[in-house]
C-alpha cells in the first residue's frame, strides 16, 4: 500500500479538517471565556467603586448625622461655656466630613434615582443646618427651654426629612448591587456552559475521528 495513496491522503485530509474544527472551537470558547471574564471583572469593579465604596460612605454619613444630633442634645443640657464650644467644634468637624463624603459620592456612577435623592438630601441638609444653628444659638445664649422646644419639634421633623433621601440612597445601593451580582452570575454561567459545550464537541470530534480512522484501517 502506497504511503501517498488516495486513501491515506483522504485520511490525512479528514484528520486535518477535524483538528482545524477543534482549534476553531477552542479559539471561539477562549474568546467567549475572555469576554465573560472581562465582563465579570467589570461588574466586580463597578460593585466595589460604584456600590460597595459609596455604601460605606453613606453609612459614615448616617453615623455623622446621628452623632451631630446627639451633640446638639448634649449642648442643650450643659451650662458649661467651654464644653459648649467643644461640642460646637465637633459638630462643625462632622459637617465638614459629611460634605467631603457627599462630594465623593456625587463623583461616582449614579443612576437617575440616586441623583434625585442626592439633590433632595442637599436641599434638606441646608434647611436642617439652619435650624440646627438656631438651636445652638438659643442654647448658647441660655435660652435652653426654647432651644429644646425647637430641637424636639422643628428640628426633629426636619431631621427625619433629611434622613429620608439618605435611606433611599442606601436602599438603591442594595438593589443595584444585587443587579450587578446577578449579572456577574449570569456571565459566569455562560462561560461555564461554553466550556462544557467545547469539551463535549472536542470529545465527540475525537471519538468520531478515532472511530472513522480505525474503521477504515481495519477494512483496507
Give the mean pLDDT of 34-42: 68
Q: Are 108 and 177 in contact (CB under 8 A)?
A: no
* Residue found under cell 468637624: 93
Mean pLDDT lowest among 4-18, 88-102, 152-166, 204-218: 4-18
171 pLDDT above the threshold of 90? no
Helix 112-140, helix 53-77: angle, nearest 10: 20
Quick one: which of 206, 201, 194 has its CA closest to 37?
194
The per-residue pLDDT of the chain, averaged, comes to 79
3 pLDDT above the threshold of 60? no
Mean pLDDT lowest among 1-5, 40-44, 69-73: 1-5
State how far the alpha carbon of 163 is from the alpha carbons of 10, 61, 156, in Å.
78, 10, 11
For the chain, domains (ranges, CATH) are: 7-218 (1.20.120.30)
Mapped onto helix, strand or coil, the DSSP state of residue 172 is helix
State how far the alpha carbon of 170 is from the alpha carbons of 69, 152, 167, 192, in Å.
20, 26, 5, 33
Quick one: which of 12, 60, 47, 33 has its CA closest to 179?
47
Percent pLDDT > 90 in the chain is 27
Amino acid at each position: 500500500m502506497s504511503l501517498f495513496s488516495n486513501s491515506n491522503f483522504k485520511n490525512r485530509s479528514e484528520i486535518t479538517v477535524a483538528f482545524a474544527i477543534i482549534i476553531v472551537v477552542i479559539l471561539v470558547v477562549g474568546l467567549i471565556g475572555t469576554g465573560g471574564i472581562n465582563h465579570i471583572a467589570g461588574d466586580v469593579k463597578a460593585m466595589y467603586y460604584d456600590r460597595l465604596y459609596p455604601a460605606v460612605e453613606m453609612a459614615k454619613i448616617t453615623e455623622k448625622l446621628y452623632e451631630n444630633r446627639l451633640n446638639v442634645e448634649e449642648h442643650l443640657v450643659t451650662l458649661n461655656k467651654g464644653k459648649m464650644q467643644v461640642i460646637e467644634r465637633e459638630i462643625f468637624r462632622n459637617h465638614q466630613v459629611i460634605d467631603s463624603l457627599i462630594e465623593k459620592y456625587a463623583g461616582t456612577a449614579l443612576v437617575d434615582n440616586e441623583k434625585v435623592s442626592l439633590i433632595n438630601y442637599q436641599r434638606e441638609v441646608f434647611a436642617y443646618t439652619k435650624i440646627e444653628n438656631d438651636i445652638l444659638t438659643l442654647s448658647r445664649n441660655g435660652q435652653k427651654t426654647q432651644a429644646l422646644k425647637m430641637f424636639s419639634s422643628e428640628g426633629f421633623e426636619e431631621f427625619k426629612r433629611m434622613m429620608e433621601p439618605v435611606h433611599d440612597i442606601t436602599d438603591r445601593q442594595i438593589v443595584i448591587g444585587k443587579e450587578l451580582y446577578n449579572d456577574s452570575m449570569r456571565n459566569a454561567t455562560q462561560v461555564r456552559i461554553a466550556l462544557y459545550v467545547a469539551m463535549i464537541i472536542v470529545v465527540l470530534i475525537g471519538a468520531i475521528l478515532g472511530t472513522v480512522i480505525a474503521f477504515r484501517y481495519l477494512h483496507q
